[in-house]
A and B are shown apart, each in its own frame.
Chain A
Amino acid sequence: MQSAPKREPSFAEQVGGWTQDGLREIRTLALLLSESLYHSTLGLRKPKTLLPGATALQMMRLGSGALPIVLMLSALIGFTLAMQSGFQLQKYGALIFLADGVGMSMVMEIGPVMTAVILAGRSGSAITAEIATMVVQEEVAALRSMAINPVHYLVLPRFWALSVTQPLLTVASCLAGILSGLAVGVLFFQLSPSNFMDELQQAIPMRYVWQGVIKSVTFAWLIVFISVSKGLNVRGGADAVGRATTACVVNCIFAIILADAVYSFIFYM
C-alpha cells in the first residue's frame, strides 16, 4: 500500500512546535539546575563517587588552560580601547580620564563578559562534546548502572572548577586590559604611570569589582548548566555531538549577554 505523501507543517504548527521545544528545553534546564545545585552543595556529602583530584583536573582543563587566550585578547581589547578613547580625550585635554574609561570598561563589562564568551567557546564546548560523546558511547548509561548519578559525577567537578577559575580569569582579564591601557597611555600619550594609577583607584570603587566578580560567577554557572544539559540530552551519533556543541556555544553566549543586561538593570537602576 502506498502511503500518503507527508504534509508540510503550517506556520502555526511550526510556531507550536518551536514553543513546545522551547518549553521542553526550559523544563530540562530547570530540572538539571535544581539537581546540579543539590549535588554541588548538599550532595558534596555523598559517597566517594569522584576520584581524588577530579575538581583540580577540571580547574586545569577548563580554567588554567584558558589563561593565555584570555590575557592576550583582553590586552588587545585594552590596547584598542585606550587608543580609540585616547585620541578623543586628547582633543578636550582630558587625557587623564583614559584611566577611568579603560578601567571601568574592563572591570564592569569587558572583563567579565569577554572572559565568559571565551570560556563558553573553549570550555563550554569542551564540556558538551565530552559529555555528549560519553552519552553516545554509553558511558553515562554505564555510570547509571553502577548507581552513580551522572549529574553528581559530571556536574560537581565542573561546577566548582568554573566557579573558582572564572572569577580569577576575569580578574586576570581586567588586569591585562588595564595594563595594556596604561602602556598605551604612557607610550603614546605621555601619561605618567603614577597619575594613571591614582586616577584608576578613584574611578573604580570596590563595589564595581565585586559586581564584576558576581557577574563572572553567574556566567560560570550558566556555562556549566547549559553545556552539561546540551551534552546529557544528545540523541544520535557523531553528528548529534557536533550539533549539540554548536548549540551549546550559541545558547551560552545568548544567556551571558541576557544575564549581563539583567545585571546592568539591577546594579545601575
Chain B
Amino acid sequence: MYRYWKKRFKTTLEQDEELEAIKKELKKLVKKKFGGSLAIRMVDSGSCNACEAECNALSNPYYNLEELGIHFVASPRHADVMFLSGVMTFNMYHHAIDCYNQIPSPKWVIAIGDCVKDLGVFEKTYAIKGNSIEVTHYIPNCPPSPKDIIAGFLEFAREV
C-alpha cells in the first residue's frame, strides 16, 4: 500500500526566496547561539485564536519551522522561549505567570500579536488585567502571519 500511494503522491510547493533567506540565516543563528535547538512554549492568555492558528501554520510544509531546530514543546520545563499571545485576562493571569516561572533560565518571552502590547482593538475591562511579564521581543500585527513570525524570530535571534 505504501508503494501504491507513494507513486500517486504528486504535490508541489511554491518556493518563496525571501522566506528561504530568512530561514537560512535563522538556522545559522540557532546553531550558533542556541546549540542548534530551541524549544518554544506557547501560552495563550486570552487571544481570539488567530495567533494560535498562525503558530500552528508554522509547522506546515510551507514554513516547516522544525527543520531549523525550533520546535514547540508540551511543557514549560522543556522550553527556552515563551510565546505569549492575548490580552492577559483576569482569569488567566496567575496561570500564565505560573507557566513563566516554570521555564528554566535563561529564558526569553516573545509577544505574538498586538494584544499583548496594548490590547489591540480591545479595551480595558474588569476582566482584562494586561500583561505584566517582561517581554524580550514584540512581533506586531493582528495576527502576525507565519512569515511575520519567522522574520520577527530572526530579529530576536540577532538581538539576543
Note whether A and B form a binding pair.
no
